[in-house]
Structure 1
Amino acid sequence: MTWIANRWYVAAWDSEVDRTPLARTICGEPVMFYRKLDRSVVAMRDACPHRLLPLSMGLKEGDSVRCRYHGLLVGPDGCATEMPLKNERVPKGVCAQLYPVAEKHRFVWIWIGDPARADPALIPDFWPCSAPGWTFDGGYCRIACDYRLVIDNLMDLTHETWVHQGSIGQHEIAEAPIETLVEGDEVRVRRWMPGIEPPPFWRDALRSSGPVDRWQVCHFLPPSSVLIDVGVSPVAAGDTIDDHDSGVRGFVVDAMTPESETMTHYFWGMARNFDIGDAGFTARFKAQQGQVFLEDVEVLEAQQRSIGANPDLKLRGYSIDQGGVRARQVIKRLAEAETAGAAD
C-alpha cells in the first residue's frame, strides 16, 4: 500500500455531496456519501451488509437508505433498522462501516484509518481557502495515475516551461535556481524570479506593465496535498521570497486522494487576494485553470502508461526533482511507521 491510512483525505467538494448518495472509492475502499436532513454528511461503506450490493444504488428514505436488492433498510448510523422480511427481528451487528468525516475549507474530508485517531485538528491547513480577504473556488478530475506522480508534478514547476507553454509557462522558471527545505513532515520548494516580464495572466492581474518579481513556493503537506504560493509584485516594491504581499498573490490548492494504486481523485483550485468580489473573473479563471490542468492530465496519464510498459526501468531524480523526492520520502516513512505500529 502506497498511502497513509491514518490521515484526513479530501473526499469531495462540499457542493458534490447532497441528499442523493455519491459513490467514490477512497484509498481502495468503496464509500457512499450523502447529507442527512440536517445537512451533516454521512460516509458509509458502499456495500449492503446483506448481499453487498452498493448501497449508493439504494433508495433514500429520510436519513436512511433502503437496499435495492432485498430491501434491507440501513440508518445513518450504518445499522440495519428493518429486515427484508416484514416483522423479522433485526439481529445485532447487521451494520455497514461508518467513516469519520469533517467539512472544512469547502471540502468534505474522510478518515480511512482507525476512527479513534480521527482528530479534526489534523486536517491540513488550507488557510487561504477560508481566510478573510481571500476568495476560493476550483474543480475536480479523476486521473489514471499514481497519486504520487501528481505530487512529483506539483513539486517541480520546471515542467511549466514545457507542458504549459501557451498559458503559464516561461523560460525564466526553468532558469531560476530552487531551494528545497524539509521541516518535519512538510517539504517546501522555493523559486524567486527577480526583474522579469510577467506572463499574461499575472500582468493582467497586477493591472500594470513593466518588470516584476515573481515567486513560486510549493508546499507539500502530508498525506497528499500541495499548496503553491504564487504571484508577482512590482520590482520597486522590494518584496522578497520571505515577504511578498505588495502585488497580487494566490495559492494553487491541490489535494490528491488515492482511489487505487493507479487512479487518483484530484481536487484543484485557486485562492487569491485580488479581485475577490468579481464572481465573473472567478468563473473565467476556474475555466482557464481547468484547461491548464488538463495539460497535466495528458502528461501524467501517459507517464503512468509508460511506467506500466517499462517495468524494468525506474524513475530517476535530478536536482529539479528534490521536492518530489523529499515528499515521497515523507510518505514512505509515515506509511512504514504506521505499518510497524499496527504490527506491534
Structure 2
Amino acid sequence: MTEYLRDSWYCIGWSSQLEEKPIGITVCGTYIVAYRGADGSIIAMDGRCPHRFAPMNLGSVNGDTIACPYHGLVFDRDGTCILNPHGGGAIPPNATLKAYPAVEHLGAIWVWLGTAEHADRSKLPMLEWWGSSDYAVSTGYLRVEAHYQLVMDNLLDLTHGPYLHADTLGGDPANTVGVGMRHEWDTQPGPVLHSNYFVENMPSPSPQIMALVGDIPGRLQARMRWRPASILDLDLRYSPAGGGADAHIPSVHYLAPESDNATHYFFALARNVDITNETLTEMLAAQVHKAFAEEDEPMIKACQSLMGTSDLMSMKPAILQTDAAAIQARRLLKKEMA
C-alpha cells in the first residue's frame, strides 16, 4: 500500500466543476467532498457520512451546510453534525466529518490533507501567464489507471515524446533526438526540481507547434518544473529560425493519487499565438487529450501491469541518463514524506 505525502496541496478539480453541486473524489485513499459555502469559499471534508457512509457529494448544500442524501443529517463547514432529524434529535458523539483546508487558486480547487496548521499557500503553483489576456487557455481531466509516480516519471522525462507522440506532441525523432536533444536538470530549495530539454536546430517542429508557426526550423526549449507532491508545469517555447516572435505554449499538470492503481490527472494548456481562434483552441485541446488519453495512459497502464507492482524501483530497472530528474524527484518526495 502506497504511503502518501499528506502535508501537500492536491488539485481535486477545476473551478468550473464546482458550481451548484458538490464534487466527490478519492485522493490519497481518502474520499473527499467539496462544495462552495455561502460566501463562495471552498469547503472540504471527509466525503462519507459517519452514519451509514453514504456519499456526501450526492447531498444538498444550504449556505455553509451540507445534508446527507441518505438520512438527512446536516453538517456545518467544520464537519460537525448540527441536525439529526430522527427520534429525539440527539446527535451521536462520533457524528463528525474531518474538515480540510481548501482554497481556490489559479482556476483550480486545492485541498490540504495533512496537518491543518501546516497548510502553506506559498507552496501552491505560481504562474505568470495564468489569467493574462495575452494567452488562450483550455483545461482537461483524465483518470489514469496507474500509480501517480509513474505518471510523474512520464512527465519529467520528455524523451519518450518523439516515439510515443510522433503524430501529436513529439514529432519525428529525427528532428529532436536525431539532432542532439540536450537534457539538463537541477534542484532548488523548496524543494523544486527542474528537468529541461533543448533542441538548438530543430529542422521541423512537432505537429502541435506546427499548427502555430508553420513548418519552419527553429530552437526548442521545454522546461518542466516539479514540486511535491505532484505539481508540475511545463514552459514550452519555440523560436523560429530567422527571427520572429516565440511561440509560447505553457501548461500545467496536476496529479492527485487515488490509489496504487489510479491517478487523477488535471491539465491545462495555454498559448500566446492566435488566441482568439476558438477552432484552434479546440483542435489543440483535442490533440493534447488524444496524446494523454490514447498514448500516455495506455502505455503507463501497460507498464504497471507488466511490472506486476506499482513500485518501480523494486524492479531494479535499467536507468538511462535522461532518467536522472525523475529518480531525483522520487528521492525528494521520499525525503519529504520522512
Same fold (TM over 0.5): yes
Number of the residue aligned with 1:313 = 315
Letter in 1 for 2:16: S
Number of the residue aligned with 2:246 = 247
Q: Does 1:181 align with 2:186?
A: yes
Residues 210-234 of structure 1 deviation map (CA, whole Å, 9 limit, x = unaligned) = 3211121122122212212113112
Q: Say if 1:322 and 1:221 are closer, same or farther in 2 by CA, change over 3 A.
A: same
**Comparing 296-305 and 68-77, the one that deviates more:** 68-77
Gaps of 5+ in 2: none
Deviation of 1:288 (Å): 1.4
**Comparing 126-135 and 106-115, the one that deviates more:** 126-135
Number of the residue aligned with 1:227 = 233
Q: Say if 1:73 and 1:104 are closer, same or farther in 2 by CA, change over 3 A.
A: same
Residues 69-124 of structure 1 deviation map (CA, whole Å, 9 limit, x = unaligned) = 33322223321121142552446663211111111111000000001111222212
Residues 35-57 of structure 1 deviation map (CA, whole Å, 9 limit, x = unaligned) = 23433222110121323222223
Match of 1:195 among 196, 201, 208: 201
**What SS is found at the alignment partner of 1:288?**
helix
Residues 279-320 of structure 1 deviation map (CA, whole Å, 9 limit, x = unaligned) = 332222111110111110010111111121798733332112
Query: How many corresponding residue pairs?
Result: 328
Residues 119-167 of structure 1 deviation map (CA, whole Å, 9 limit, x = unaligned) = 2222122333234522322200111111111111111111111111222
Number of the residue aligned with 1:117 = 118
Number of the residue aligned with 2:221 = 215
Q: Say if 1:232 and 1:79 are closer, same or farther in 2 by CA, change over 3 A.
A: same
**Cα distance in 2 between the residues matched to 1:99 and 1:31:** 9
Letter in 2 for 1:198: P
State the percentage of identical aligned residues: 28
Q: Is the 8 A contact 1:14 1:108 kept in 2?
A: yes
**What SS is found at the alignment partner of 2:40?**
coil
**Cα distance in 1 between the residues matched to 2:17 and 2:56:** 18
Gaps of 5+ in 1: 238-244, 337-344
Deviation of 1:63 (Å): 4.1
Q: Is the 8 A contact 1:194 1:235 kept in 2?
A: no
1:262-273 aligned at under 5 Å gives the runs: 262-273=261-272
**Cα distance in 1 between the residues matched to 2:318 and 2:150:** 13
**Cα distance in 2 between the residues matched to 1:110 and 1:127:** 22
Number of the residue aligned with 1:72 = 73
Number of the residue aligned with 1:205 = 212
**Comparing 137-146 and 165-174, the one that deviates more:** 165-174
**Cα distance in 2 between the residues matched to 1:192 and 1:52:** 51
Residues 184-204 of structure 1 deviation map (CA, whole Å, 9 limit, x = unaligned) = 322222222122222233233
Number of the residue aligned with 2:148 = 147
**Cα distance in 2 between the residues matched to 1:55 and 1:168:** 39
**Comparing 312-321 and 288-297, the one that deviates more:** 312-321
**Cα distance in 2 between the residues matched to 1:275 and 1:45:** 43
Number of the residue aligned with 1:341 = none
**Cα distance in 2 between the residues matched to 1:10 and 1:254:** 10
**Cα distance in 2 between the residues matched to 1:125 and 1:267:** 16
**What SS is found at the alignment partner of 2:129?**
helix
**Cα distance in 2 between the residues matched to 1:309 and 1:80:** 41
Q: Is the 8 A contact 2:41 2:103 kept in 1?
A: no
**Cα distance in 1 between the residues matched to 2:66 and 2:139:** 30
**Cα distance in 2 between the residues matched to 1:64 and 1:25:** 21
**Cα distance in 1 between the residues matched to 2:21 and 2:267:** 23
Q: Say if 1:252 and 1:315 are closer, same or farther in 2 by CA, change over 3 A.
A: farther
Letter in 2 for 1:188: H
Q: Is the 8 A contact 2:208 2:284 kept in 1?
A: no
Letter in 2 for 1:308: G
**Cα distance in 2 between the residues matched to 1:96 and 1:105:** 27
Q: Is the 8 A contact 1:128 1:272 kept in 2?
A: no
Letter in 2 for 1:259: E
Letter in 1 for 2:158: L
**What SS is found at the alignment partner of 2:78?**
coil
